[in-house]
Structure 1
Amino acid sequence: MTGSSPQRRRVAFIINSLAGGGAERVMCTLLRASEEERRDVDITLILLDQEPAAYTVPDWVRIEQLDCRHSFARSLGQLFTALRRLRPDVVLSFLTRANIAAALACRALGIAAVISERVNTSSHLGTGGGAMVARLLVRLCYPLARKIIAVSPGVADDLADAFGIARAKLMVIANPVDLDGIRRQGDEAPAVVPGVPYIMAMGRLVPNKNFAMLIEAYAQAEMSEQLFIFGEGGERENLQGLIGKLGLEGRVHLPGFCANPYAILKHAALFVLPSNAEGFPNSLLEAMSLRVPVVSTNCLSGPAEVLADVARERVTEPVTFAPHGILVTPDNVADMAQGLRAMKDPERRASYAEKAERRAADFSVARAKNAYWDALRAEMTPPAAASGAPLRAQ
């Protein structure tokens, strides 16, 4: 990597790890797209936890590996030490723990912090004592950042309405979709060859993704295709039990995490997103970029903006035939089953496949990368020299 000099600026990207997940994939996509910026900026990636990486970053990105072991206290202490040594001009963090730690450490060190909220915060933090503490930390610490980037208008609204974040601090940048990269991976040999027509879903096997609802709806819809749900997580045993209870062995499959799901996704008859909440529906757009028709819950946040190009509140029907895909009521087996049955129509399926591919093109990597770097460069200027004009949301 090019050595630092007084004229070069320094930017640190911060995330928990590069384990499999949408935020981690977006972080790596953003870094890979930033080759032009490295001509005048030194880029460091700080990983809080030592976990096996599911994604790679360019070899010109300096990596600082910490060992916080999922602990917030260790994250704050080790990140403070690393930033004090690196002295970046600005940092960009992804995910709630990294965001809170970055906001606190940067405020103490006088470093500009830009944090990016990847999820609908209220839904993601859940309930209980630990959630109450996390909510308080978000409310107290997020305002310490110079700028907060939300991945959808719904996420920004939640931060403002539920956590009191000033609208002037918020901006929206939709996640990038590496269309060319996804299509290249889609052309590779698949790790799993179903050998039969299939419907596909993917994501971590956690309650919020609500694959249980999808399995029940699939049974009710009596689809001819088999169902493959790619991903790993703590809900595996419960989902396997539900599959057995519904007599769906041999028709519903949980193959686990797949490093390249796109080679399998490309040949799916249909992609389904059954989540209760999303920050931004990465997998939905990835499927659409491969010309796969989609059915999604109208959850917070993002599917309505992607499929209907309107705010979620404006989609009021239980099953909506939106311009770019079908939206159904979240956590509703009957409505999801109706959405699935609607996609049995081959003409509707073909029409939505064509519309999906066109819509995905609106979320290019270059567009998102430029918006992120505009935000970072604006915060590199010392506050005393700044114009004071608020950033315009992208």
Structure 2
Amino acid sequence: MTKRIAITIDSLAGGGAEKVMLTLAVALIKLGHEPHLLVLKNHCDHQIPQGLPVHFCFDESDKHLDSFWRLSRSVKQLNDFIVELEQKVGKFDLFLSNLDKTNLLMSRTQVSPLYFVVHNSIEEELVRQRKLGPFAYLDMLRAKRALNGKHLITVSNGIASEITKVGRINPASIHTIYNPFDLEHITQQAAGASADIPHEDYMIHVGRFAKQKRHDVLFKALQQMKQHLPLVLLCNNKKKALKAARKYGVENRVIIPGFQTNPFPWIKQAKLLVLSSDYEGLPTVLIESLAVGTPVVSTDCHHGPNEILLGNLAKYLVPRRDPAALADKLDIALEDYPDCQQAEILALVDAKKVAERYISLISN
């Protein structure tokens, strides 16, 4: 029986959570269901899959949707928008909320059944936000506390364990559902080509330029490596990335083509992919890299990498914030790496299986 699912999210900017939800939506369509994207603001870097309805909930002129003075009005607008939309397309059988701003608003609506997808370590995000000042910290804390008493979906077991252990949030329930991956589609996309891809051997890092991703650790490791392969950075802020590379004296070692709608040919043709983050949820790019047969070296950060690099791949995990260890492991991986296309995680993240798990929430 066809189910109608509303996937709500801040925007369709080029981030991991947005990509995950687009993949889930496509998998739901293939199963015969009817997903709809409910997007707060019209900011779109991703290509919208054919047949996926997208609804923008607020006008471009609407600002500060989650501010203290605006929040009640924003919630009413969102509630009214959903009611009007359901009158047009029919009642939704399931609501999935993503990212802090959307979560704060959706937590105050009356929709049901409603699940909140937690894509990242809550505690690590709060630690980072505290460094930006008390107002930024309290703003994020308010969004995280909105999850109290709600039904949560975590994208890794590590995030679920953290929430339970810390006790900052007491959810009504927690389910862990790994992010969905259309492995066949990834393989097909990886077969594509781009004239900009370097002809010589290179390493690659894929991720937005943000403190969480620790480009400083990455660049320090690049300094200390014995091998001198160039590093391709697929990120959203070329100017800042280049400035940081210059600071660590590796600007001549980095290639920064910017955000790519299809990063898979870049990943497939790389000698290896590196992740240097302080924290993650379930780092999508590690799984994508393994799926196209490109070796991976990653910091053993909270959370996700140690649920992805299992068995004989676990030795390519390194302590976070340790450039020397990262450099050493990158050198080793370039010389010797097992067949990563047989990675255990790939059997657990098939998009169809993941979509079926989301649908099973409706009957719970």
**Corresponding position: 1:217 with 2:209:** no
Q: Say whether the 8 Å CA contact 2:149–2:171 is kept in structure 1.
A: no
Contact (CA 8 Å) 2:93, 2:362: kept in 1 or not?
no
Matched, 1:35 2:29: yes
Which residue number in structure 2 is paired with residue 50 of structure 1?
42
Question: Identity percentage over the alignment?
Answer: 28
- Residue number in structure 1 paired with 2:20: 26
- 2:12–2:42: 8 Å Cα contact kept in structure 1? no
CA deviations 1:251-271 (Å, max 9, x no partner) are 212221011110111110010
CA distance in 2 between partners of 1:230 and 1:9 (Å)? 36
> Which residue is equivalent to 2:139?
133
**Amino acid in structure 2 at the alignment position of 1:190:** S
**Shift of residue 110, structure 1, vs aligned partner:** 5.2
Q: Is the 8 A contact 1:173 1:368 kept in 2?
A: yes
Match of 1:288 in 2: 290
Q: Is 1:360 the counterpart of 2:362 in the alignment?
A: no
Structure 2 counterpart of 1:385: none
Structure 1: distance between partners of 2:46 and 2:240: 25
Equivalence map 1:121-160=2 (5 Å): 121-125=122-126, 126-127=129-130, 128-129=133-134, 130-139=136-145, 141-145=146-150, 147-160=151-164
- Report what 2:179 is aligned to: 175
What secondary structure does 2:293 align onto? Answer: coil
Aligned 8 A contact 2:201 2:229 in 1: yes
- State the alpha-carbon separation in 1 of the partners of residues 107 and 49 from structure 2: 24
Output one character per residue of 1:189-222: Cα deviation in whole Å (capped at 9) or x when no partner. 1252212100001100011111121111011013
Q: Are the counterparts in 1 of residues 29 and 35 from structure 2 also a CA contact under 8 Å? A: no
CA distance in 2, matches of 1:9, 1:343: 45
Matching of residues 89-128 of structure 1 within 5 Å: 89-105=93-109, 109=110, 111-125=112-126, 126-127=129-130, 128=133
| Aligned partners of 1:210 and 1:276 also within 8 Å | yes
Contact 1:323 1:355 in 2 (8 A): no
Amino acid at match of 1:35: I
TM, length-normalised to structure 2: 0.87
Deviations 1:128-168 (A, max 9, x none): 322233224422x21343x2000011111222333533466
- Secondary structure of the 1:142 match is coil
Inter-CA distance 259–166: structure 2 relative to 1 (3 Å threshold): same
Q: Deviations over 1:75-106 (max 9, x none)?
A: 5343222123225343111112212211111x
Match of 1:332 among 302, 322, 333: 322
- Compared with structure 1, are the counterparts of its residues 191 and 208 closer, same or farther at alpha carbon in structure 2 (3 Å cutoff)? farther
Letter in 1 for 2:260: C
Q: How many residues align?
A: 347
Query: How large is the RMSD of aligned CA atoms in angstroms?
Result: 2.4
Question: 2:57, 2:78 within 8 Å by CA — same for their partners in 1?
Answer: no
CA distance in 2, matches of 1:70, 1:272: 36
Moved more, 57-66 or 9-18: 57-66
Q: CA deviation at 1:242?
A: 3.6
CA distance in 2, matches of 1:96, 1:249: 34
In structure 1, what is the Cα distance between the partners aligned to 2:293 and 2:116? 32
Query: 1:386 maps to which residue?
Result: none
What is the one-letter code of the residue matched to 1:304?
A: N
Matched position secondary structure for 2:218: helix
Residues in 1 aligned to 2:26 and 2:2: alpha-carbon distance in whole angstroms: 20
Match of 1:195 among 190, 196, 199: 199
Give the AA of the match of 2:340: A
- Decide whether aligned partners of structure 1 residues 75 and 15 sit closer, same or farther in structure 2, where only a CA change above 3 A counts: farther
Q: Is the 8 A contact 1:44 1:62 kept in 2?
A: yes
Q: Give the match's secondary structure for 1:116.
A: strand
Output the CA distance in 1 between the equivalents of 2:178 and 2:294: 20
- Correspondence for 1:306: 308
Find the counterpart in structure 2 of residue 323 from structure 1: 313
Q: 2:115, 2:9 → 1: CA distance? A: 12
Matched residue, 1:389: none
Q: TM-score w.r.t. structure 1 length?
A: 0.81
CA contact (8 A) 2:292 2:341 kept: no
* Residue 186 in structure 1 maps to residue 187 in structure 2: no
Unaligned runs of 5+ in 2: none
AA in 2 matched with 1:25: K
The AA in structure 2 aligned to 1:122 is E
Contact between 2:13 and 2:44, CA under 8 Å: does it hold in 1?
yes
Classify 1:212/1:77 alpha carbon distance in 2 versus 1 (closer, same or farther; 3 Å): farther
- SS for the counterpart of 1:54 is coil
